[in-house]
Structure 1
Amino acid sequence: MPQSTTADPATAVARPRVAVTLGDPAGVGPELAVRLLAVDSNRAAADIIVVATRAELDRAQAEAGVTVPVSDDGAPGTVRLVDGLDEPGDDVPLREVSEAAGRVTLSRLERALDLARAGEVEAIVFAPLNKTSLHLAGMHEEDELRWFARELGHDGVTSELNILGQLWTARVTSHIPHGEVAPHITTDAVTRSLGLLHEVLRDTGISQPRIGVAALNPHNGENGLFGRQEIDEIAPAVEAAAARGWNVRGPFPADTIFLRRDEFDGILTMYHDQGQIAMKLLGFDGGVTVQGGLPVLIATPAHGTAFDLVGTGRAALTSTQNAFDIAASVAASRVAAPAAGTGA
């Protein structure tokens, strides 16, 4: 799809392009996606390609009671549907885990990645999915982030980033058993995760992000009494980041660092629940997950497929809207960056 611009050639500004998938067809994803797409201001914020069949989109609109304007060429105020999708999805049972749901979900995500590889979109937003259904359908990676990385041929640093309001979190380890966390907390791993969080925050427009780093052990390790990761691994990474001129502080005790959240733009935690529990207590409905470190910005609501809410109209749009806002904003900054570099 050609990149659209404003009508006046003298002030032409390229618009961000975002692909949207409907997520797991058995859950609340399709209805949330069409409610998002039905909002006029969202369609005005970006050129949107919806990765779904016409039948899928029609079913979701009927369920949600909304109308999404569609055009073949992505005319202003409309969305464009992709074509040639496999896995029609007509046999997916609602409100349950299934291989069929996983196949449809993976098919749509693969097509969205194709669009990104072809340079047709700068960002992807996917509605909630179900990891069990994905694994039944053949996804062997522990999570979708690693699957995205493999599909994109990306072997650099990656981390799930979680966002609530203005606060971003990243983690050194993610979907691994707790018994395996400590050996993975190394100076190199902490340094790489700090670098990723710092760079992503800069992408959002923060020139000098303020980052706090959580400890791994209780009481910040109590000077080595409860573990030495803080002394031997985490502190050296923080010192190295500070030496590069980054505004990084820590490690701080994990049970109090989120009480100081107003001091930071981002917080780096050591494992999944260390940050997720805090973030979900602070605001479950508005959370967003970004698949950090990938060559394309990929965002999704932080909540799941909510099988119990399918068809009730009670699923909150807040997280899906926030995911789209972040994707459109970062995509817009990436579109603007090359133009700035050419002196345009």
Structure 2
Amino acid sequence: MVKIGISHGDLAGISSEILVKSVKKLPKAIYIIYGSSKAIQKAQTLLNEKFDLIQINKPEEAKKEGFYIIDLFDEDIQFGKPSVKSGKASVLFLQNAVRDILDKKLNALVTMPISKEWIMKAGFKYAGHTDYLADVSNIKEYAMILFCNKLKVGLITTHIPLKDVPKNISKEKIISKIRLINEELKQKFCIKNPKIAVLGLNPHASDNSNIGDEEEKIIIPAINQLKNEGINLIGPLSPDTAFINRKDFDIYIAMYHDQGLIPLKMLCFRKAVNMTFGLPFIRTSPDHGTGYDIAGKGIADESSFLYAVKIAKRLINKSC
């Protein structure tokens, strides 16, 4: 039986509500939540929704389909009121879940939203899930991918200030990330010859170096080398028009976070999934954040989480 681990995320956010709303809609599997039973119980009361949640100490104890919890935090945290305490708790959940998936006690991991602000205030040295997962997995190359049924986007840089983007892209980085993305699309999504669109960094992809020169000096040389290796790609494309013909491509490679995620979330908000390519295990996540502003109101949308679980389960059972 497939075992899917779920890190509870920030208890002050909407994760507990989403988990409770999702139980009756999830496909059959063993689900192990690394989190707080107290928070789940609060969400059950909020939504007037009850289900059996079996407490265990380790994944090996879960032997039949259903919902289990490894209870790691017994303090009360109010929905909508994040703190250093909620930040520490979300890190604790993540660390325990990652330990078990690295030990191959889980088949996949779905990570619920955490707050970059509060995990860092709690002493966590990483800006989010992706860098942490790559570090503890001892991998040098990885890529943040977000996708829905209408669009896939890969990022060259992730959670850094916009002013730092130009100095954080290089020919070598673009080449290594696109190589990885190309191979993962083949292996995980069974796409035999991925069609990859590479965006420029500057408006109009620099308009022949009239608006910046990163395209000429960095992006075009990287594209040419990858083409010589037989990778099927085109670019650099002008970012303002590139997504018009999105059906022509299997994935877009964006130079920075918002360049790729704005079109994705306009097309697929609440129905997209975050995934990390390059990890030695399957990890997916909803496309939204902690939702502090709506936490405890009973109105959170579980669609993205359900899609994240669906994709994780599909990847576990994939056969190209």
Structure 1 length normalisation: TM-score? 0.84
Q: Is the 2:13–2:82 Cα contact (8 Å) retained in structure 1? A: no
Q: Which residue of 2 aligns with 1:79?
A: 67
Tell me the secondary structure at the aligned position of residue 291 of structure 1.
strand
Of 11, 14, 30, the match for 1:28: 14
Query: Among residues 252, 264, 268, which one is paired with 2:253 in the alignment?
Result: 268
For 1:327-338, list aligned pairs within 5 A: 327-333=312-318
Q: How does 1:68-107 map to 2 (within 5 A)?
A: 68-71=51-54, 73-82=61-70, 85=72, 87-88=73-74, 90-107=75-92
1:59 aligns with 2:42: yes
- What CA deviation, in whole Å up to 9, does each residue of 1:147-202 have, x standing for no partner? 222333x2411232111224221111111122221122211111112123223322
- 1:101 CA displacement: 0.5
What is the one-letter code of the residue matched to 1:33?
L
Which whole-Å CA distance do the structure 2 matches of 1:282 and 1:37 have between them?
26
Kept in 2: contact 1:174–1:271 (CA 8 A): yes
Deviation, 1:267, is 0.4
- Please list, as runs of the form range in 1=range in 2, the aligned pairs for 1:75-224 lying within 5 A after superposition: 75-82=63-70, 85=72, 87-88=73-74, 90-152=75-137, 154-202=138-186, 203-224=188-209
- 1:123 offset after TM fit, Å? 1.5
Determine the C-alpha separation between the residues in 1 that align with 2:163 and 2:40. 43
TM score, norm. by length of structure 2: 0.90
Q: 1:321 aligns with which of 298, 306, 319?
A: 306
Rate the CA distance shift 1:61–1:195 in 2: closer, same or farther, 3 A: farther
In structure 2, how many angstroms separate the alpha carbons of the residues matched to 1:274 and 1:57? 36
The verdict on how the C-alpha distance between 1:237 and 1:134 changes in structure 2, with shifts beyond 3 A counting, is: same
Name the structure 2 match of 1:281: 266
Q: What aligned pairs does 1:229-308 form with structure 2 within 5 A after superposition?
A: 229-308=214-293
Tell me, what secondary structure is at the counterpart of 1:294? Answer: coil
Unaligned runs of 5+ in 1: 5-15, 338-344
Instruction: Measure the CA separation in 2 of the matches of 1:294 and 1:318.
Output: 25
Letter in 2 for 1:74: A
Q: Within 2, Cα distance between the matches of 1:242 and 1:47? A: 43
Q: Which amino acid aligns with 1:119?
A: K
Does the C-alpha gap of structure 1 residues 61 and 51 become closer, same or farther in structure 2, counting only changes over 3 Å?
Answer: same
CA separation of 1:64 and 1:205: change in aligned 2, threshold 3 A: farther
Give, in whole Å, the separation in 1 of the partners of 2:178 and 2:240. Answer: 20
Q: Distance in 2 between matches of 1:244 and 1:66?
A: 55
Q: Name the aligned partner's letter for residue 171 of structure 1.
A: L
User: Which structure 2 residue ranges, 5 or more long, are not aligned?
Assistant: none
1:60 to partner: Cα distance = 2.9
Cα root mean square deviation, aligned: 2.0
Shift of 1:245: 2.4
The 8 Å contact of residues 169 and 268 in structure 1, kept in 2 or not, is answered as yes
The alpha-carbon deviation at position 77 of structure 1 amounts to: 3.8
**In structure 2, what residue type is equivalent to 1:189?**
K
SS of equivalent residue, structure 2 residue 293 = helix
SS in 1 for 2:315: helix
Amino acid at match of 1:177: P
What is the DSSP-based 3-state SS (H/G/I as helix, E as strand, rest coil) of the residue aligned with 1:312? coil
The alpha-carbon deviation at position 312 of structure 1 amounts to 2.2
**Equivalent residue letter for 2:297:** T
Larger deviation, residues 99-108 vs 135-144: 135-144
User: Partner of 1:79: helix, strand, or coil?
Assistant: strand
Contact 1:29 1:129 survives alignment (8 Å)? no
Per-residue CA distance 1:306-327 (angstroms, 9 max, x = gap): 1222222211111111111111
**Identical residues among aligned pairs (%):** 27
> Shift of residue 99 of structure 1?
0.5
